[in-house]
């Protein structure tokens, strides 16, 4: 594992610019969006809306003429594009126009990328001047490391690499936020923000909620907010 010499946190005084999440209700809760070049963790169980939230963040970037990259460990491209088209996002067309890039990767390849100091992903990011990155999901990557110290060093190396690219990033993680899990601690510690998505059964139906657990340098909401998934994407109230 290639070790970094200096911790790559964002400079809270220098990087005051906000990057819209593409979800107006969420932006209002976090002073206008994520901090520029920050690395943000979205945690939620199956069906909670993690991938849609992350994709809506990329679509917002595309609207602002920013090149965007979606890296997946789990999604098959054809099925993913079909699912996103139901929300009105024609990723195939955006890809052909050079506005959206999709990479199917394995956790092992990401580990190799860290050992090499960037690899294929870094080449694409720098060549295409990618500004927004989503890794969906980082769950499997965390399971590659048994030792907590090694897991922490891997998380630190990954986050430093993302910040070196000067991208604003979302990492998704598959977990019920109400259940404590030691595997995610290193990721939580290194993340600039943590957003929790709940999919809770209430009487005879399930409802979705969003909570901002942490956001460095930002005065944010500490309440649970209703989250709705509609045909045009996510809405937060």
Answer yes or no: is pLDDT of 5 > 50: no
State the CB neighbour count (10 A cutoff) for residue 115.
11
Domain ranges within the chain, ordered by starting residue: 19-207
Average pLDDT over residues 198-208: 94
Helix (H, G, I), strand (E, B) or coil at 134: strand
| pLDDT tens profile 143-175 | 777 777 888 888 888 888 888 899 999 999 999
Beta bridge partners of 81: none
List CB contacts of 154: < 8 A, sequence separation 6 or more. 1, 111, 114, 141, 144, 145, 186
**What pTM was computed for the model?**
0.89
Four-way CATH pick for 19-207: 3.40.50.300, 3.10.20.30, 3.30.70.520, 3.40.50.620: 3.40.50.300
| pLDDT tens profile 6-57 | 444 555 444 579 999 999 999 999 999 999 999 999 999 999 999 999 999 9
């Amino acid at each position: 594992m290639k070790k970094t010499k200096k911790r790559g946190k964002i400079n809270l005084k220098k990087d005051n610019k906000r990057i819209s999440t593409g979800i107006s209700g969420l932006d209002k809760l976090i002073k206008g969006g994520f901090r520029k070049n920050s690395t943000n963790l979205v945690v939620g169980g199956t069906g909670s809306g993690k991938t849609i939230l992350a994709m809506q963040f990329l679509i917002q970037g595309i609207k602002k003429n920013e090149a965007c990259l979606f890296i997946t460990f789990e999604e098959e491209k054809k099925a993913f594009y079909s699912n996103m088209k139901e929300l009105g996002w024609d990723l195939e067309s955006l890809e052909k126009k050079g506005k959206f890039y999709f990479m199917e990767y394995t956790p092992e390849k990401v580990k190799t990328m860290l050992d090499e100091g960037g690899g294929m992903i870094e080449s694409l990011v720098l060549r295409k001047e990618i500004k927004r990155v989503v890794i969906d999901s980082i769950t499997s990557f965390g399971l590659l490391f048994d030792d907590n110290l090694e897991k922490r060093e891997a998380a630190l190396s990954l986050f430093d690499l993302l910040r070196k690219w000067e991208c604003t990033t979302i990492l998704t993680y598959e977990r019920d936020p109400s259940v404590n899990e030691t595997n995610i601690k290193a990721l939580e510690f290194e993340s600039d923000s943590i957003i929790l998505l709940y999919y809770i059964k209430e009487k005879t139906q399930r409802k979705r909620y969003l909570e901002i657990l942490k956001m460095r340098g930002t005065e944010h909401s500490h309440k649970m907010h209703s989250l709705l998934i509609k045909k045009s994407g996510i809405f937060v109230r």
